[in-house]
Amino acid sequence: MKIVRSITQWREIFGGLQGKSVGFVPTMGYLHQGHISLVERSKAENQITAVSIFVNPTQFNNQEDLQRYPVNVQDDTLQLQDLGVDYLLLPDYGELYCDDYRYKVSENQYSLDLCGATRPGHFDGVLTVVLKLLNITKATRAYFGQKDWQQFQLVRGMASAFFLDTEIVGCPTVREDSGLALSSRNKLLTPEHKKIAPQLHEIISGKNSLAEKWKMLEAAGFQVDYLTKKEGRIFVAAFLGKVRLIDNVGV
């Protein structure tokens, strides 16, 4: 596996990959089985697989959340080597934001709903960094988990709106045996909250009304940010302590 830190270096490498399909998995690191499933899908469908690790500061509307975000690039690198990834992109802020975020991508409808309603500017940061990474990698396909359903839909919409050649591929949510959707933030849960967290998926998957589900979540110890049904799915965001969890299920 080759580690690439500069955009110039990646573009030189990409120049020698023409004619080969390139799968790309953008991550913020602290990899778990959900990320690994994306990498495995990419390897199955492409000749070359590249992964990026970059904790993107522009998508954090809460600086405390950014500072607490778990990081372990050394372990991540070893995991990706074992998986047979071809390239690991490790850009820094200066590489990706040479303009210091003067230019950004904004979507003015769906990004204001759900997570966007309580995390102002979050999706501007997500779409901006993803567009940069897709322009850098020129990937044939890019892989995103559907736990972040809203993010996946927005990225797919952006790729279409800006006529990007990259196919945006959505992959199923990977869960623990308990039903809890895998997330790097799960590491931040206290032992007590880790026991409660699986009830998020259990409750939203039940047959109760939304009002009843809301009450059940609060009774279990969650502070509900939103709980709603749309697009044939139920969406939830809720806090356990300072950790914000999201999930969605089809109905």
DSSP line for 99-142: TTT-S----SSGGGSTHHHHSTTHHHHHHHHHHHHHHHH--SEE
Closest CA to 66 of 177, 202, 184: 184
For tokens 């399909």, what's the residue? Answer: 21
193 is a catalytic site residue:
no
Distance CA 163, CA 160 (A): 5
Measured between alpha carbons, how far is residue 12 from residues 1, 76, 96, 135, 169 in Å? 16, 24, 17, 14, 26
Return the C-alpha torsion angle 186, 187, 189, 194, nearest 10.
Answer: 70
Distance CA 210, CA 203 (A): 10
Q: Which of 32, 35, 193, 201 is catalytic?
A: 35
Which positions are annotated as active-site residues? 35
